[in-house]
Structure 1
Amino acid sequence: MTGFEALLDEPFVCITDALRRFAKERGEHPALICDDEVVTYAALDARVDRFAAALQRDGIQPREAIALCASASVDYAVAFLGGLRAGAAVAPSSSAPSLVGMIGNSGARLLFIDAEVQRLLEPVAVDIGAVPIALDAHAGSTALDTWLGPHGTTPEPVTIEPAWPFNIIYSSGTTGTPKGIVQSHGMRWAYAVRSMQRGYGPDATTLIATPLYSNTTLVSFMPTLTFGGTVVLMAKFDTTRYLQLAQRYRVTHTMLVPVQYQRLMAHPEFDRYDLSSFQAKFCTSAPFAASLKADVVRRWPGKLTEYYGMTEGGGSCQLEADAWPTKLHSVGRPMEGHDIRLIDEHGNEVAAGEVGEVVGHSPAMMTGYYRQPDKTAEAQWYDPSGKRFIRTGDMGRFDDDGFLTLLDRKKDMIISGGFNVYPSDLEAEVSQHPDVAEVAVVGVPLEQWGETPVAFVVCRAHARIDAISLLEWVNARLGKMQRLSALSLVDSLPRSAIGKVLKRELRERFYPAAR
């Protein structure tokens, strides 16, 4: 029986224990590839051992947090996996400015960074209560190789329990202060097992082009290594480089956010690359336009699956875009074992066909927000039987076939003159114009109506439309209560590192008093 087959017979396996099995069974198989550096399973296992041993030497106890903030690299992966092997909870940060609050919340005593983060931290360095350790040779802190100690060092074995925290992922903060989302080892293992249905295994090669601090990335990264596949890492997304790597390494799996799909499909030489090795492509984290899904299905080999859900867990929906060409406007139907419902502002379930806030229950739910019981309570909803659900803050509607169509974030919904106006409806209309590449609609305060919608538009190259003409064009197609009060042409939309449009920044740009 191979290590892969043996794993499937066990109720729980720590992911770094699975890594050790493959290091013994297929030690020369590539585990990680980054910038032409190839790290085998045997070499990766030894580096993870060395890292875990250094954590123990410095007194890091099981379930204690360590912090990470850096670009994707082999050493970043080693730090993440080494932390897990030592029993630590890994707290990856999305940005240097958020580190002060994140470290204060997590209590991390060690912070692993790179040169760019070191530079950004200089103004707040005195407020960082953790010892910085450099993952590269240029960060000006203690160098990783020096900190690790001698080659061949191994840690004391740690028996990791399923309920222990695997990671503390801090929310993007697009709607407020980031919160630490605790996910357990048991939850990660259960997800990895379910991922086998998507073709992850010893022959999988997964191309990672999103940040390693994101749950969007971890749901592809971890199953690939858990079952003996190969991960190809990109420190920074670039369309040409992505296509070159996909062709060179005969990539089978990838997870991308919608803006990455958009840029890849717009690449002038996309169709010249051999992408026939792809088995499965995934997308999540932001709205995925139906027209873009259709283009990916038509021109890119392999199945396309969109997931809708939250890092916090709760229920998720899945859309197999190849199989449901008439449902591409939706995010699919609830996954097996996932319970998705819609509730009104009073916490009551809405009638069939009506709009409500999406709440979900699933086997993969966060333990809670780290050291924030009040925030945890706010994020939960219980049905009359006492079943626990996670509130998403998204508004949606189920159709007669059980497919969920998202309308907007509850927070982003515009109430104008007492009417609910959904920015996504307006964005869909603006997007119909042939000169429009991207659009975001936000609500800003207006004394007469309470709120009013304004649009920010990125035009396609060589577009000739002006803002006034485009505003007139779209308002002629909208209902009276939906019409835009203003439209601005911009070079780009502000986005988080994972591709979400930062509507709060747009709102503040148009109406600073809305801060």
Structure 2
Amino acid sequence: MDAATLAQQPFMSVPELIRMHASRSPRSTAFIQDGQVVDYGELDTIVDQVAAALQRDGLAPGDIVSICAANSINYAVVFLGALRAGVVAAPLAPSATPESIADMIADAGTRHLFLDADNARALAPVADRIQSRWITLDDSDHGTPFREWLAPEGAEPGPVTIEPDWPFNIIYSSGTTGSPKGIVQPHRLRWGHIRRGLSPEYGIGPESVTLLSTPLYSNTTLVPFFQTIALGGALVLMAKFDAERYLQLAERHRVTHTILVPVQYQRLMDVPTFDDYDLSAFECKLCTSAPFRADLKADVLRRWPGRLIDNYGMTEGGGVCSLLAHRHPDKLHTVGQPVEGHDIRLIDDAGNEVAPGEPGEVVGHSPGLMLGYHNQPQKTAEAEWFAPDGRRFIRTGDIGRFDEDGFLMIIDRKKDMIISGGFNIYPADIEAVVRQHEDVGECSVVGVSSQRWGETPVAFVVPAAGRQPDPVAVREWANNRLGKTQRLADVVLRDALPHSAIGKVLKRELRETYEM
């Protein structure tokens, strides 16, 4: 089945597509990691073994397994084997606290927990709260070793016909702070991602080699992961991101596709020998998950071959905007335009659409929406907005504005907005000014409690390479360029800003440490 024919299919499941590639090109590479190579014939066999083992253990379509581990080939095959059995995978962030992970496992009703030695040790203090069977992907002795648990080679699972609206996976949106919300994504949503991978701008197919260094529990990673494996390409996995190692792998394997978050792009572009690496095989580089500065996009376009696409969207589904940066170098300050079949609108606090050119909360509709938050119907309802025609949209919590050409500009996170003396202040506007100071590398602005103003902005600053900024001087310099209501109450120097594994600055952590 060629790309054009595949794109016309109303629905195909990931397990079906893996079986198709295994039948047609069994010796084609599916996975590469640390010298281990798995081809599609081997992948199809072990996916059957995982599915058969799950069925042997009594798991049926709709049951849930969790995975809490570093990226590995075994991690990937468990996820894929679960899908073949109709079982729902709930990948969990190892960076979350043990208590939060235990909460997520309880919320999911996890039957089996797949993990590695590091995470088993981390979960030991809450082991009595976790009723799931522990299976160790690295065959360590913290549970049943994966090779012992796996069904024998040649095992065939019972047939499962996957429906488009069946749950595919549950992605937990929180875990470092706050109450975790399990986002239930259907197979239909993943099929939409796969079809997008067939577009000429993405160009994913059997000749593609995709390098992934972000964690497999994140939707950021899972989109190109499933696009590549479903379309017959090869996946190069990194357990942990390292800029030099990334460049070495990209050169060695002639990588064509990747996804990175902005902080990773910055670290790569800062490698002194970046320009010495042969990256000429690259066709398409993707970015998502956090604001991608215009000047950094421009640097990537200038020095790194291949197309650059900045995607804006939510794990919950809804609409996606896409900036084809290589086609629109004058729009690098935006997140692009709605992709085909996606409807992006802006609404005010009363739920009414705003006038053209006015800012509002971004809401989106697409053919692929989450089924809801697992076990949290009230939270699901709070995340929804319905258009006058009854169509369901998902609220993003972001404040945006469309320019005259229909490109969306994200002003800030609604929850990060600072209300000082009754005025709405957007941290991104202040950050853009502070970053212009020659001594400033990174900057994040948060609102902290103020008896006089209610809230007041504070900037956390990481020095530029080789610089030693004076916090008072930076504050005065910035305040001379900011509006009266935007002026900083304080500038705090940090060696580094706290980031999540997918590159988002943990503003709540900054705020809490300042106010302690």
* The two structures share one fold, judged by TM-score above 0.5: yes
The more displaced of 218-227 and 145-154 is 145-154
Give the aligned partner of residue 191 of structure 2.
189
Amino acid in the other structure paired with 2:133 = V
2: CA distance between counterparts of 1:150 and 1:189? 30
- 1:226 correspondence with 2:225: no
Aligned residues: 511
Q: Is the 8 A contact 1:99 1:128 kept in 2?
A: no
Letter in 2 for 1:251: V
**Residues 310-365 of structure 1: per-residue CA shift (max 9 Å, x gap):** 00011111111112122111111111111111111111111111111111111121
Aligned to 2:87: 88
Corresponding residue for residue 78 of structure 1? 77
Match of 2:509 in 1: 505
Match of 1:62 in 2: 61
Which residue in the other structure is 1:495 paired with?
499
Q: Which residue does 1:246 correspond to in 2?
A: 250
Task: Quote how far apart the aligned CAs of 1:8 are.
Answer: 4.2
1:107-186 matches, cutoff 5 A: 107-138=109-140, 140-173=142-175, 176-186=178-188
Contact 2:172 2:181 in 1 (8 A): yes
Work out whether 1:340 is the aligned partner of 2:339. no
Instruction: Provide Cα deviations, 1:443-474, integer angstroms capped at 9, x if missing partner.
Output: 01111111100010111221032211111111
* 1:207-238 deviation line (CA, Å, top 9, x unaligned): 11110111111110101111111011111101
Q: Report what 1:211 is aligned to.
A: 215
In 2, distance between residues paired with 1:405 and 1:415?
21
Q: Secondary structure, in 3 states, of the residue corresponding to 1:274? A: coil
Per-residue CA deviation, residues 247-293 of structure 1 (Å, 9 max, x unaligned), is 11111110110000000000010000010111100000001011000
2: CA distance between counterparts of 1:29 and 1:352? 50
Cα distance change of structure 1 residues 172 and 139 upon mapping to structure 2, 3 Å threshold = farther
> How much has 1:173 moved relative to structure 2?
4.7
C-alpha distance in structure 2 between counterparts of 1:467 and 1:138, whole Å: 49
**Partner residue, 2:38:** 39
Q: CA deviation at 1:135?
A: 0.3
Q: Percent identity?
A: 60
- Which segment is superposed worse, 305-314 or 95-104? 95-104
Following TM superposition, by how much is the alpha carbon of 1:190 offset from its aligned partner in structure 2, in angstroms?
2.3
Paired letter, 2:10: P
Partner of 2:453: 449
The answer (yes or no) to whether the contact 2:308–2:326 under 8 Å persists in 1 is yes
The answer to whether the Cα contact below 8 Å between 1:171 and 1:179 also exists between their aligned partners in 2 is yes
* Matched residue, 2:438: 434
Alignment of 1:327-476 (within 5 A): 327-476=331-480
Paired residue secondary structure (1:465)? coil
Structure 1 counterpart of 2:108, one-letter code: S
2:16 aligns with 17
Deviation at 1:137, TM superposition (A): 2.6
Distance 2:461 2:221 in 1: 28
The worse-fitting range, judged by mean Cα deviation, of 459-468 and 220-229 is: 459-468
Aligned AA (2:511): R
CA distance in 2, matches of 1:275, 1:62: 43
Q: Which runs of 5+ in 1 are unaligned?
A: none
Amino acid at match of 1:379: A
CA contact (8 A) 1:382 1:388 kept: yes
Contact 1:47–1:78 (Cα < 8 Å) also in 2: yes
8 Å Cα contact 1:118-1:139 kept in structure 2:
no
Quickly say closer, same or farther: Cα 1:284–1:300, change in 2 above 3 A: same
Q: CA deviation at 1:138?
A: 2.7
Rounded Cα–Cα distance in structure 2 between residues aligned with 1:174 and 1:100: 13
Q: Secondary structure at the match of 1:235?
A: coil
